[in-house]
Structure 1
Amino acid sequence: MTVLEHTPTNPAEASTLRALEAEAIEIIREVVAEFDRPALLFSGGKDSAVLLHVALKALAPAPLPITLLHVDTGHNLPEVIAFRDEIVARHGLRLHVAAVEDWIADGRLTERPDGTRNPLQTVPLVDTIAEQKFDALLGGARRDEDRARAKERIFSVRNALGGWDPRNQRPELWNVYNGRHAPGENTRVFPLSNWTELDIWRYIEAENVALPPIYFAHDREVFERDGMWLTSGPWFGPRPDEKVVTKSVRYRTVGDGSCTGAVESSARTAAEIIAEVAASHLTERGATRADDRLSEAAMEDRKREGYF
């Protein structure tokens, strides 16, 4: 049985977190045992921070035999990049950065008219997997985030182009995982699949997981667009008709600054965020990610092309 650093006072919550952590540890150890060149997708966001925390715990006291991979849009908030680099230095980890800027500079990608770079991450990701010969990628995606993620297996085999076929998935009965793959294929693995946003925050509190400060309420200059509070940056905004105001906000998820919004909040501790999330009726992506609002099947369409 795994031991949480700070056991929650609610026995049911503590039991749930122990079970979720134990499952994630088993999956990570299975990946290390089955694959030759695994990588862990690390953006500096809360889910990847929890995934890295569990991975370090799963393989301690040995050094982490997994490369961290970040597909950097160039439009990430500076606090997140600073946190990413701090964590890498603190634990002596290997980090490979695939910068979307490089693909734009050499003509492999073209900047979108709307300035959003999240959809541009797919090509650098697939190219980097091929160049680095990664055969498994651990990601922090969870089933409660989106309907496309809800129907994906924990071990998800992708074709040579990184594409996902929702009709061609392997059964995972009794938590038996199948990592076999043909030459050119790679496997995406999601150890946190069965966690919820609330589980993530309860675990962050219990384990004292470090996060970028933007996850907690702070005063920030923002402007409203399509019902979201966005931050000014090297993307298209604010427009002349979009007024910049100062509000107490926090981010529920982090990503490309052009399409990731903040929410008004006064929650400055993990405990206060847990109370806030427990009362919310929207997932973090549904509330704050404009790229998921493009269509009902926006996430699934991107996953078919090779997205996380």
Structure 2
Amino acid sequence: MTTLIPDPRPAVAATTPPPADPPDLLDMLESEALHIIREVVGELERPVMLFSGGKDSVVMLHLAAKALWPAPVPFPVLHVDTGHNFPEVLAFRDAAVEHYGVQLHVASVQDYLDDGRLRERSDGTRNPLQTLPLLDAIEVHRFDAVFGGGRRDEDKARAKERIVSLRNSFGHWDPKNQRPELWHLYNTRRRPGEHVRVFPLSNWTELDVWRYIAREDIALPSLYYAHERSVLERDGMLLSPGDWAELRDGEEPSVRTVRYRTVGDMSCTGAVASTAGDVEAVIAEVAATTITERGATRADDRLSEAAMEDRKKEGYF
């Protein structure tokens, strides 16, 4: 008769835990952004957050409140106002500032035009005129860190940025002189007069931002969702009519159902034809698109192949 000898090894199934679920991408992105915000607030004395009321800056302020809870957000927000901003966005900006209990600084391009420090451009757009008011506000308030909502998927120049990016005493950026960021270690050291730009959303995509907005139930200005608006078609873009430019021959405004993927100066920010009236519909629309929001809707980035990089070198965000 054959004798069966018991296997002396322990039963693997009884001691090995089931495989863990893979980490959620939004959890990972959120954790990284919270870490960046906490590091900068802990290391630097006078940070500020750029806040226009647009979706990326709204998500960034939400993250700041979450990162530092239960303490209030300990730094102010700064808006560089071109004077051509969407009224809906300005109203939302003011409501958000009140909701989060933060101080708002406004650097006005119009003030610089009124006193001659800047001149209007022939094309009517004021986005490129934001650099000088921004740099002056940083100097006047002695900000040593400026949080911005730039993401690497938006533009080739923004893809070159480090998460913590040094600006020299003139506010200029040198894309060839950047610091390594291995193992989530960020170098915030600077000399007097210098400051750092900090991009907590660097590794996010437009789709990530919208999925996070849905998950966190974050409110946004209404023009991010489909609505009827008078627009004119110019250079392949749907622009809101305004007093910044005369109508060209053949241009006739018409009422269309549109939404905005990004918000900025009305003279160079285009709408897209869309029926996406809620966040889930927007997510489905963004998931199917093959063009970034800046590539599709920002005329100022079409000025040249390196338009964004040239402005960033001069101090633009």
> TM-score band (shorter)?
over 0.9
Matched, 1:212 2:224: no
Native 8 Å contact 1:248 1:265 kept in 2: yes
Which sections of structure 2, spanning at least 5 residues, go unmatched?
A: 1-19
Quote the Cα distance in structure 2 between the aligned partners of 1:256 and 1:12: 44
Task: Give 1 or 2 for the bigger CA radius of gyration.
Answer: 2
Quote the Cα distance in structure 1 between the aligned partners of 2:242 and 2:45: 39
Quote the Cα distance in structure 2 between the aligned partners of 1:110 and 1:12: 57
SS of structure 2 residue aligned to 1:291: helix
* Deviations, residues 237-265 of structure 1 (Å, cap 9, x unaligned): 43342111110000000000000000000
2:143 to 118, 134, 142: 134
Question: What is residue 47 of structure 1 aligned with on the other side?
Answer: 56
Question: What is residue 6 of structure 1 aligned with on the other side?
Answer: none
SS of structure 1 residue aligned to 2:254: strand
2:70 to 33, 45, 61: 61
1:118: how far off?
0.2
Native 8 Å contact 1:238 1:244 kept in 2: no
Question: What is residue 125 of structure 1 aligned with on the other side?
Answer: 134
Quote the Cα distance in structure 2 between the aligned partners of 1:222 and 1:12: 47
When the two chains are superposed, the root-mean-square deviation of aligned CA atoms in Å is 1.3
* Deviations, residues 87-141 of structure 1 (Å, cap 9, x unaligned): 1112221000000011111111111111110000000001110011000000110
* Deviations, residues 166-195 of structure 1 (Å, cap 9, x unaligned): 000000011100000000001000000000
Which sections of structure 1, spanning at least 5 residues, go unmatched?
A: 1-10
Residue identity in the other structure for 2:163:
I
Quote the Cα distance in structure 1 between the aligned partners of 2:23 and 2:290: 23
Residue identity in the other structure for 2:205:
T
SS of structure 2 residue aligned to 1:109: coil
Quote the Cα distance in structure 2 between the aligned partners of 1:93 and 1:260: 27
1:229 to 227, 238, 249: 238
Question: What is residue 33 of structure 1 aligned with on the other side?
Answer: 42
Question: What is residue 144 of structure 1 aligned with on the other side?
Answer: 153
Q: How does 1:165-180 map to 2 (within 5 A)?
A: 165-180=174-189
* Deviations, residues 3-36 of structure 1 (Å, cap 9, x unaligned): xxxxxxxx99980000000000000001100111
1:234: how far off?
3.0
After TM superposition, which residue ranges in structure 1, 4 or more long, deviate above 6 angstroms? 11-14
Quote the Cα distance in structure 2 between the aligned partners of 1:55 and 1:233: 35
1:162: how far off?
1.0
How many residue pairs get matched?
298
Question: What is residue 291 of structure 1 aligned with on the other side?
Answer: 300
Residue identity in the other structure for 2:231:
V
Matched, 1:109 2:118: yes
- Cα 1:198–1:12 change in 2 (3 A) is farther
Identity between Structure 1 and Structure 2 (%): 65
